[in-house]
Amino acid sequence: MIEVNNVEDVLTFALVAKSGSFAQAGKKLGLTRSAVGKRIARLEKSLDVRLIQRTTRKLSLTDEGKVFLQHCELVVEQIEQAYQVLQQRKGTPTGKLRITAPIVLGASFLNQIINQYLTLYPQVEVEVSYTDSLLDLVSEGFDLGIRIGDTVANNQLWARYLGEYALVAVATPRYLASSTKIKEVADLAQQQLLVFYNFNFIDLPWHFRQEGKLVSFHPREAQTMQRANNAQLLLDLCLADKGILYMPWFYVASYLKSGELVQVLPEYELFSTPMRAVYPSKSNLSPKVRAFIDLLVNSVSFQQLQQH
Protein backbone atom coordinates (compact mmCIF):
# COMPACT_ATOMS: atom_id res chain seq x y z
CA MET A 1 0.00 0.00 0.00
CA ILE A 2 1.31 3.45 -0.92
CA GLU A 3 2.05 5.64 2.11
CA VAL A 4 1.70 9.42 2.37
CA ASN A 5 5.48 9.86 2.18
CA ASN A 6 5.56 7.93 -1.09
CA VAL A 7 2.99 10.27 -2.64
CA GLU A 8 4.94 13.34 -1.49
CA ASP A 9 8.15 11.87 -2.86
CA VAL A 10 6.56 11.07 -6.22
CA LEU A 11 5.26 14.64 -6.57
CA THR A 12 8.68 15.97 -5.59
CA PHE A 13 10.37 13.76 -8.19
CA ALA A 14 8.00 15.02 -10.90
CA LEU A 15 8.81 18.64 -10.05
CA VAL A 16 12.56 17.97 -10.00
CA ALA A 17 12.36 16.22 -13.37
CA LYS A 18 10.41 19.09 -14.94
CA SER A 19 12.51 21.90 -13.47
CA GLY A 20 15.85 20.09 -13.73
CA SER A 21 16.85 21.43 -10.35
CA PHE A 22 16.47 20.50 -6.70
CA ALA A 23 16.50 24.19 -5.80
CA GLN A 24 13.69 25.14 -8.22
CA ALA A 25 11.54 22.23 -7.07
CA GLY A 26 12.23 23.26 -3.47
CA LYS A 27 10.95 26.79 -4.12
CA LYS A 28 7.65 25.47 -5.44
CA LEU A 29 7.28 23.07 -2.52
CA GLY A 30 8.53 25.42 0.17
CA LEU A 31 11.43 23.08 0.95
CA THR A 32 15.19 23.46 1.13
CA ARG A 33 17.42 21.90 -1.52
CA SER A 34 18.62 19.31 0.96
CA ALA A 35 15.03 18.39 1.96
CA VAL A 36 14.20 17.80 -1.70
CA GLY A 37 17.30 15.65 -2.05
CA LYS A 38 16.24 13.56 0.95
CA ARG A 39 12.82 12.94 -0.60
CA ILE A 40 14.36 11.78 -3.86
CA ALA A 41 16.78 9.51 -2.02
CA ARG A 42 13.93 8.05 0.01
CA LEU A 43 11.91 7.38 -3.14
CA GLU A 44 14.85 5.69 -4.85
CA LYS A 45 15.43 3.54 -1.79
CA SER A 46 11.78 2.44 -1.66
CA LEU A 47 11.87 1.58 -5.39
CA ASP A 48 15.37 0.08 -5.17
CA VAL A 49 16.38 1.87 -8.35
CA ARG A 50 18.21 5.08 -9.27
CA LEU A 51 15.94 7.63 -10.93
CA ILE A 52 18.24 10.64 -11.26
CA GLN A 53 21.91 10.93 -12.18
CA ARG A 54 23.49 13.71 -10.15
CA THR A 55 26.55 15.67 -11.20
CA THR A 56 27.91 18.97 -9.93
CA ARG A 57 26.54 20.77 -12.99
CA LYS A 58 23.24 19.13 -13.85
CA LEU A 59 20.67 16.45 -13.20
CA SER A 60 19.53 13.86 -15.71
CA LEU A 61 17.01 11.07 -15.57
CA THR A 62 18.06 7.47 -15.84
CA ASP A 63 16.15 5.21 -18.21
CA GLU A 64 14.19 3.96 -15.21
CA GLY A 65 13.58 7.56 -14.19
CA LYS A 66 12.18 8.42 -17.62
CA VAL A 67 9.75 5.48 -17.53
CA PHE A 68 8.71 6.34 -13.98
CA LEU A 69 8.17 10.00 -14.91
CA GLN A 70 5.75 9.08 -17.70
CA HIS A 71 3.50 7.38 -15.17
CA CYS A 72 4.08 10.03 -12.51
CA GLU A 73 2.88 12.78 -14.85
CA LEU A 74 -0.46 11.01 -15.19
CA VAL A 75 -0.76 10.81 -11.39
CA VAL A 76 0.19 14.47 -10.94
CA GLU A 77 -2.35 15.52 -13.57
CA GLN A 78 -5.10 13.55 -11.83
CA ILE A 79 -4.21 15.07 -8.46
CA GLU A 80 -4.28 18.59 -9.95
CA GLN A 81 -7.68 17.85 -11.51
CA ALA A 82 -8.96 16.58 -8.16
CA TYR A 83 -7.86 19.81 -6.48
CA GLN A 84 -9.53 21.89 -9.17
CA VAL A 85 -12.79 19.96 -8.80
CA LEU A 86 -12.81 20.48 -5.04
CA GLN A 87 -12.00 24.18 -5.41
CA GLN A 88 -14.90 24.56 -7.84
CA ARG A 89 -17.22 22.67 -5.49
CA LYS A 90 -16.31 25.08 -2.70
CA GLY A 91 -18.03 27.87 -4.56
CA THR A 92 -20.79 26.15 -6.52
CA PRO A 93 -23.45 23.96 -4.88
CA THR A 94 -23.47 20.54 -6.56
CA GLY A 95 -24.30 16.93 -5.74
CA LYS A 96 -27.11 15.47 -3.67
CA LEU A 97 -28.59 17.41 -0.75
CA ARG A 98 -30.48 15.23 1.76
CA ILE A 99 -32.83 17.12 4.09
CA THR A 100 -35.16 16.02 6.85
CA ALA A 101 -37.81 18.25 8.43
CA PRO A 102 -41.10 18.03 10.34
CA ILE A 103 -44.23 17.49 8.26
CA VAL A 104 -45.69 20.83 9.39
CA LEU A 105 -42.89 22.69 7.60
CA GLY A 106 -43.47 21.09 4.20
CA ALA A 107 -46.60 22.63 2.74
CA SER A 108 -46.28 25.65 5.04
CA PHE A 109 -43.12 27.04 3.48
CA LEU A 110 -40.27 24.56 2.96
CA ASN A 111 -41.61 23.29 -0.38
CA GLN A 112 -41.40 26.85 -1.69
CA ILE A 113 -37.81 27.19 -0.49
CA ILE A 114 -36.80 23.94 -2.19
CA ASN A 115 -38.38 25.11 -5.45
CA GLN A 116 -36.44 28.39 -5.28
CA TYR A 117 -33.25 26.53 -4.40
CA LEU A 118 -33.49 24.19 -7.39
CA THR A 119 -34.10 27.16 -9.67
CA LEU A 120 -30.92 28.81 -8.40
CA TYR A 121 -28.83 25.63 -8.26
CA PRO A 122 -30.06 23.16 -10.90
CA GLN A 123 -26.94 21.00 -10.47
CA VAL A 124 -28.09 19.95 -7.00
CA GLU A 125 -30.31 16.91 -6.51
CA VAL A 126 -32.55 17.40 -3.46
CA GLU A 127 -33.91 14.50 -1.45
CA VAL A 128 -36.37 15.39 1.33
CA SER A 129 -37.78 13.31 4.15
CA TYR A 130 -40.76 14.93 5.86
CA THR A 131 -41.32 13.12 9.12
CA ASP A 132 -42.34 13.91 12.67
CA SER A 133 -39.84 11.35 13.94
CA LEU A 134 -36.39 12.55 14.97
CA LEU A 135 -33.96 10.96 12.51
CA ASP A 136 -30.26 10.49 13.19
CA LEU A 137 -28.58 12.73 10.63
CA VAL A 138 -25.17 11.08 10.92
CA SER A 139 -26.14 7.41 10.74
CA GLU A 140 -28.82 7.97 8.09
CA GLY A 141 -26.69 10.18 5.87
CA PHE A 142 -28.58 13.48 5.99
CA ASP A 143 -26.78 16.74 5.19
CA LEU A 144 -29.27 18.96 6.98
CA GLY A 145 -32.17 18.77 9.39
CA ILE A 146 -34.69 21.43 10.39
CA ARG A 147 -35.63 21.09 14.05
CA ILE A 148 -38.31 22.87 16.04
CA GLY A 149 -38.21 23.27 19.80
CA ASP A 150 -35.37 22.12 22.01
CA THR A 151 -34.53 18.92 20.17
CA VAL A 152 -30.80 19.29 19.42
CA ALA A 153 -29.43 16.95 22.08
CA ASN A 154 -26.61 15.46 20.03
CA ASN A 155 -22.98 16.45 20.44
CA GLN A 156 -22.27 15.27 16.88
CA LEU A 157 -24.44 18.02 15.42
CA TRP A 158 -23.99 21.75 14.98
CA ALA A 159 -26.96 24.07 14.95
CA ARG A 160 -27.77 27.45 13.44
CA TYR A 161 -30.56 29.40 15.05
CA LEU A 162 -33.16 30.36 12.45
CA GLY A 163 -35.76 32.19 14.48
CA GLU A 164 -38.86 31.75 16.62
CA TYR A 165 -42.36 30.68 15.75
CA ALA A 166 -45.53 30.94 17.81
CA LEU A 167 -47.75 28.11 19.03
CA VAL A 168 -51.50 28.55 19.28
CA ALA A 169 -54.47 26.55 20.59
CA VAL A 170 -57.32 26.33 18.07
CA ALA A 171 -60.69 24.64 17.59
CA THR A 172 -63.71 24.90 15.32
CA PRO A 173 -66.54 27.27 16.31
CA ARG A 174 -68.86 24.26 16.36
CA TYR A 175 -66.70 22.40 18.88
CA LEU A 176 -66.42 25.43 21.16
CA ALA A 177 -70.17 26.04 21.00
CA SER A 178 -70.82 22.49 22.22
CA SER A 179 -68.21 22.44 25.00
CA THR A 180 -67.92 24.09 28.39
CA LYS A 181 -66.60 27.65 28.42
CA ILE A 182 -62.83 28.10 28.38
CA LYS A 183 -61.81 31.19 30.33
CA GLU A 184 -58.37 30.17 31.61
CA VAL A 185 -55.70 27.57 30.91
CA ALA A 186 -56.91 25.28 33.71
CA ASP A 187 -60.25 24.93 31.91
CA LEU A 188 -58.52 22.82 29.28
CA ALA A 189 -58.80 19.93 31.74
CA GLN A 190 -62.51 19.66 30.85
CA GLN A 191 -61.89 19.56 27.11
CA GLN A 192 -61.09 17.02 24.43
CA LEU A 193 -57.51 17.65 23.33
CA LEU A 194 -55.74 16.64 20.14
CA VAL A 195 -52.19 15.99 21.25
CA PHE A 196 -48.97 15.76 19.28
CA TYR A 197 -46.40 13.52 20.89
CA ASN A 198 -42.75 13.89 20.05
CA PHE A 199 -40.10 11.44 18.88
CA ASN A 200 -39.77 9.98 22.40
CA PHE A 201 -43.55 9.40 22.59
CA ILE A 202 -43.80 12.15 25.20
CA ASP A 203 -46.79 14.48 25.34
CA LEU A 204 -45.31 17.96 25.41
CA PRO A 205 -46.85 20.61 27.68
CA TRP A 206 -48.96 23.36 26.17
CA HIS A 207 -47.44 26.73 27.01
CA PHE A 208 -49.10 30.14 27.15
CA ARG A 209 -48.06 33.52 28.54
CA GLN A 210 -50.05 35.84 30.76
CA GLU A 211 -48.59 39.25 31.47
CA GLY A 212 -45.19 37.89 30.53
CA LYS A 213 -45.39 34.88 32.85
CA LEU A 214 -45.35 31.32 31.57
CA VAL A 215 -48.52 29.31 32.17
CA SER A 216 -48.38 25.62 31.25
CA PHE A 217 -50.91 22.82 30.96
CA HIS A 218 -50.12 19.15 30.50
CA PRO A 219 -52.47 17.31 28.12
CA ARG A 220 -52.61 14.22 30.35
CA GLU A 221 -54.69 16.30 32.78
CA ALA A 222 -57.45 16.68 30.20
CA GLN A 223 -60.77 14.88 30.27
CA THR A 224 -59.99 13.04 27.03
CA MET A 225 -57.31 13.27 24.41
CA GLN A 226 -56.41 11.81 21.04
CA ARG A 227 -52.68 11.34 20.45
CA ALA A 228 -50.66 11.10 17.25
CA ASN A 229 -47.19 11.92 15.96
CA ASN A 230 -48.63 13.18 12.68
CA ALA A 231 -49.62 16.83 12.53
CA GLN A 232 -51.86 16.49 9.48
CA LEU A 233 -53.98 13.80 11.13
CA LEU A 234 -54.47 16.00 14.19
CA LEU A 235 -55.42 18.97 12.02
CA ASP A 236 -57.98 16.86 10.16
CA LEU A 237 -59.50 15.76 13.48
CA CYS A 238 -59.63 19.35 14.67
CA LEU A 239 -61.41 20.48 11.51
CA ALA A 240 -63.88 17.63 12.09
CA ASP A 241 -64.87 19.13 15.48
CA LYS A 242 -63.04 16.47 17.49
CA GLY A 243 -61.26 18.76 19.92
CA ILE A 244 -58.69 21.47 20.60
CA LEU A 245 -55.37 21.45 18.77
CA TYR A 246 -52.09 23.11 19.83
CA MET A 247 -49.96 23.75 16.76
CA PRO A 248 -47.58 26.26 15.16
CA TRP A 249 -49.41 29.40 14.09
CA PHE A 250 -48.19 29.14 10.51
CA TYR A 251 -49.67 25.64 10.19
CA VAL A 252 -53.21 26.81 10.98
CA ALA A 253 -53.03 30.46 9.86
CA SER A 254 -55.12 29.97 6.71
CA TYR A 255 -57.89 28.24 8.70
CA LEU A 256 -57.90 31.04 11.26
CA LYS A 257 -58.17 33.57 8.46
CA SER A 258 -61.07 31.73 6.82
CA GLY A 259 -62.88 31.28 10.13
CA GLU A 260 -62.84 27.48 9.97
CA LEU A 261 -60.80 27.57 13.17
CA VAL A 262 -60.71 30.12 15.97
CA GLN A 263 -58.11 30.80 18.61
CA VAL A 264 -58.72 29.31 22.05
CA LEU A 265 -57.77 31.54 25.00
CA PRO A 266 -57.09 34.60 22.81
CA GLU A 267 -56.56 36.75 25.90
CA TYR A 268 -53.32 34.88 26.56
CA GLU A 269 -50.09 35.74 24.76
CA LEU A 270 -48.69 33.16 22.38
CA PHE A 271 -45.70 31.07 23.40
CA SER A 272 -42.79 30.98 20.95
CA THR A 273 -40.26 28.20 20.43
CA PRO A 274 -37.00 28.16 18.43
CA MET A 275 -36.33 26.68 15.02
CA ARG A 276 -32.83 25.55 14.06
CA ALA A 277 -30.94 24.13 11.12
CA VAL A 278 -28.73 21.26 12.27
CA TYR A 279 -25.90 19.59 10.39
CA PRO A 280 -23.10 17.13 11.13
CA SER A 281 -20.09 19.31 10.25
CA LYS A 282 -19.24 22.88 11.21
CA SER A 283 -15.78 23.43 9.74
CA ASN A 284 -16.47 21.77 6.37
CA LEU A 285 -19.99 22.99 5.69
CA SER A 286 -20.48 22.29 2.00
CA PRO A 287 -21.67 24.98 -0.43
CA LYS A 288 -24.93 23.12 -1.08
CA VAL A 289 -25.84 23.14 2.63
CA ARG A 290 -24.66 26.69 3.26
CA ALA A 291 -26.59 27.98 0.23
CA PHE A 292 -29.79 26.26 1.36
CA ILE A 293 -29.57 27.67 4.89
CA ASP A 294 -28.84 31.18 3.59
CA LEU A 295 -31.79 30.99 1.19
CA LEU A 296 -34.01 29.72 3.98
CA VAL A 297 -33.14 32.54 6.38
CA ASN A 298 -33.49 35.28 3.77
CA SER A 299 -36.68 34.03 2.13
CA VAL A 300 -39.89 36.01 2.39
CA SER A 301 -41.91 32.88 3.16
CA PHE A 302 -39.69 32.06 6.13
CA GLN A 303 -39.92 35.60 7.49
CA GLN A 304 -43.71 35.47 7.15
CA LEU A 305 -43.72 32.16 9.01
CA GLN A 306 -42.49 33.96 12.13
CA GLN A 307 -45.30 36.52 12.01
CA HIS A 308 -48.65 36.10 13.71
Based on the fold, state whether residues 279 and 157 are members of the same structural domain: yes
Q: What is the CATH number of the domain that holds 46?
A: 1.10.10.10
Domain of residue 117: give its range: 95-163+274-305
Please report, in tens digits, the pLDDT of each residue of the chain (308 residues total): 455 467 889 989 999 998 888 998 898 888 999 999 999 999 999 999 999 998 777 889 999 999 999 888 878 877 777 776 666 566 788 899 999 998 888 877 889 899 999 999 999 999 999 987 788 898 899 999 998 876 555 566 788 888 888 999 999 999 999 999 999 999 999 999 999 886 554 567 899 999 889 999 999 888 888 998 888 899 999 999 999 999 989 889 999 999 999 999 999 999 988 888 999 876 567 889 999 998 988 875 566 565 56
Which residues, other chains included, contact 155 with Cβ-Cβ below 8 Å and sequence gap of 6+? none
Of 76, 91, 106, the position where a domain reaches its end is 91
Model pTM? 0.63
Based on the fold, state whether residues 174 and 210 are members of the same structural domain: yes
Q: Which amino acid is at 177?
A: A
> Are 284 and 89 spatial neighbours (Cβ–Cβ below 8 Å)?
no
Based on the fold, state whether residues 258 and 184 are members of the same structural domain: yes
Based on the fold, state whether residues 279 and 253 are members of the same structural domain: no
Based on the fold, state whether residues 269 and 232 are members of the same structural domain: yes
Based on the fold, state whether residues 262 and 280 are members of the same structural domain: no
Based on the fold, state whether residues 173 and 114 are members of the same structural domain: no
Strands 213-217 and 59-61: unpaired
Based on the fold, state whether residues 290 and 269 are members of the same structural domain: no
Based on the fold, state whether residues 179 and 263 are members of the same structural domain: yes
Based on the fold, state whether residues 249 and 115 are members of the same structural domain: no
Q: How many domains does the chain fold into?
A: 3
Based on the fold, state whether residues 200 and 269 are members of the same structural domain: yes
Which residues, other chains included, contact 189 with Cβ-Cβ below 8 Å and sequence gap of 6+? 217, 221, 222, 223
